[in-house]
Amino acid sequence: MAFEFKFPDVGEGIVEGEIRRWLVKEGDRVKPDQPLVEVETDKALVELPAPRAGTILKIHAREGETIKVGQVVVVIGEPGEEEPGQPAPEAHPESVTVVGALDEAPVEFQAQQRAASVHHVHPPRVRAIPSVRKLAKELGVNLARLKGTGIDGRVRREDVLKAAEEQKAKRPAVSAPAAAPSVKPEETVERLPMSRLRRTIAQAMVQSAFTAPHVTSHDEVEITRLLEIVRRERPQAEAQGARLTLLPFVVKAVVAGLTAEPYLNAELDMAAGEIVLKKRYHIGVATDTAEGLIVPVVRDADRKTILELAREIAALTEKAKSRTASLGEVTGSTFTITNYGAIGGYLGTPIINPPEVAILGLGRAQEKPVARDGQVVIRPVLPLSLSFDHRLIDGATAQRFLTVVMVRLEDPDLLLLEL
């Protein structure tokens, strides 16, 4: 009997996913653990491996289709094997009712009935998204007469526009008063489908913005000494396979701040009326990708050296950008850092990554006038923006956290003493 491979429970409360790309086709021979298909969940892009060797007998979900946990995705077996749950062909049974068996209608009568029923069959439903249907209505195009060029015969926007142009060309020219030039529908807007990742981001941001009362504190720290260390040690770090930047030092400074102010490394359980203090330091690093913001997680950041952090951050962000990060690598953060300074931003008001209660934003470091020993000097300054959940964290607590972080960034030797 062939084997039905069902979409497994991948954890983190995920109940469905979207088929992004099939890596095999029906008739292919596969080995155990060979990747079969890429599925995009709310958290990550995951590959489902083959649970056993065999031949792909049937693919039950198309690319772009949403599948639920427990739904059959593919059937694996040997050629000629039947799918589980598929009954073998059998002779037509006698019609049976509560009052006994009924004689089957003569074959001639059944044929007449089938012929008569043809007149009552509904025409197949046209496959088209709402915006295409609306456009067809506006342009006077009959969708039922179009042959769609999309997947499974789906009528696309281009099909409607082409049909409208053909109809216009067939109409006889009629003189009419000059009218104001109209804007073609295709020039006004463009509608793009939201990816599952973008929908997930949107839902999380709405949840965060309308659940946690956000407050943002801004500050600046001079990083002359820190930049000197980064520039001096960068060649040695590269020789050990690590690209040294400011971010590993910021992660270490954040861990020191969370240790001093544990309420920022916490979660609120409003249903139970409890504050959940996290005893481990898993730092999320918000990463800009082509499909949206992904937050890979540096686990146990307190136990790692600066070079270890540099290597791990580089590897995780690369995986996030290529959508190859595993589910475990993009979940479970206890505090998040977002570095919009990397693309030129200076100050921001970051939105908390739920269920966390705070997030630190890093702006673009730049030289500014600074007072030192009664003199105005030019020094590199790093802007910091801390957003926090005011239900749990007060302004004084937030500022104490920021002060711990700033002291260590201004004097990075303190970080080296804490390793």
Tens-place pLDDT, residues 1-44 = 788 898 887 766 677 888 888 999 888 999 988 889 988 886 67
Crossing angle of the two packed helices 395-410 and 224-239, in degrees rounded to 10: 60
Q: What is the pLDDT of residues 364-410, one digit of tens each?
A: 999 999 888 899 999 999 999 999 999 999 999 999 999 999 999 99
Q: How many CB atoms lie within 10 A of CB 148?
A: 18
Q: Evaluate whether 251 touches 309 at the Cβ level (below 8 Å).
A: yes
Give residues with Cβ within 8 angstroms of 119, minimum separation 6.
none
- Lowest mean pLDDT: which of 29-33, 48-52, 187-191? 187-191
- Where does the pLDDT of residue 172 fall: very low under 50, low under 70, confident under 90, or very high at 90 and above? low
Residue 144: strand, helix, or coil = helix
> How many whole angstroms separate alpha carbon 360 and alpha carbon 255?
12
User: Coil, helix or strand for 18?
Assistant: strand
CA–CA distance, 61 with 72 (Å, rounded to integer): 8
Residue 255 domain boundaries: 214-418
With 50 as the cut, is the pLDDT of residue 79 above it?
Answer: yes
Which single residue is written with the structure tokens 């269920």? 355
**Is residue 404 situated within a structural domain?**
yes
CATH code of the domain in which 26 resides: 2.40.50.100
Q: If we measure between CA atoms, which residue out of 196, 285, 205, 206 comes closest to residue 14?
A: 196
200 vs 197: CA distance, rounded Å:
5
**pLDDT for the residue numbered 216:** 96
The DSSP secondary-structure symbol of 243 reads -
- Establish if 409 belongs to a structural domain: yes
* Residue owning tokens 């499909």: 291
Does the residue 308 lie in any domain? yes
Count how many domains the chain has: 2
> Domain ends where: 53, 77, 101?
77
344 pLDDT exceeds 60?
Answer: yes
Residue 163 pLDDT grade (very low, low, confident, very high; cuts 50, 70, 90): confident
Give the residue from 38, 58, 77 where a domain finishes: 77
Question: What confidence category does residue 226 fall into, taking pLDDT thresholds of 50, 70 and 90?
Answer: very high
Which tokens belong to 297?
A: 């997680």
Instruction: Quote the CA–CA distance of 313 and 299 in Å, as a whole number.
Output: 10
Euclidean distance between CA atoms 321 and 342, whole angstroms: 15
CA angle at residue 51 from 47 to 52, to 5 degrees? 135
Domain membership of residue 309 (yes or no) is yes
Q: Indicate the pTM of the whole model.
A: 0.64
Burial class (CB in 10 A: 0-12, 13-18, 19+), 247: buried
Q: Note whether residue 118 is domain-resident.
A: no
CB atoms within 10 A of CB 162: 14
Measured CA to CA in angstroms, residue 152 lies from 2, 22, 200, 366 at distances of 27, 17, 27, 55
Residue 83 vs residues 50, 144, 342, 404: alpha-carbon distances, Å: 17, 36, 53, 63
Q: Using N-to-C axis directions, what is the helix angle for 306-321 and 247-260, rounded to 10°?
A: 110
Q: What is the pLDDT of residue 11?
A: 67
CATH number for the domain harbouring residue 378: 3.30.559.10
Between 193 and 130, the higher pLDDT residue: 193
**Tens of pLDDT, residues 229-283:** 999 999 999 999 889 999 999 999 999 999 999 999 999 999 999 999 999 999 9
In a domain, 53, yes or no: yes
pLDDT recorded at residue 126: 72
Residues marked active site are found at: 390
Confidence of residue 98 (pLDDT cuts 50, 70, 90): very low
Give SS3 for 301: helix
Q: Count Cβ atoms below 10 Å from residue 197 Cβ, excluding itself.
A: 21
Domain membership of residue 73 (yes or no) is: yes
Final residue in a domain of this structure, among 17, 52, 77: 77
Q: What is the pLDDT of residue 200?
A: 82
Q: What is the pLDDT of residues 272-319, one digit of tens each?
A: 999 999 999 999 999 998 888 899 999 999 999 999 999 999 999 999
Is position 50 within any domain?
yes
Answer yes or no: is pLDDT of 190 > 60: yes
Residue, of 30 and 46, whose pLDDT is higher: 30
What is the DSSP code string of 183-239? PPGGGT----PPPHHHHHHHHHHHHHHHHS-EEEEEEEEE-HHHHHHHHHHHHHHHH
pLDDT at 118 over 70: no
pLDDT mean across residues, the chain:
83
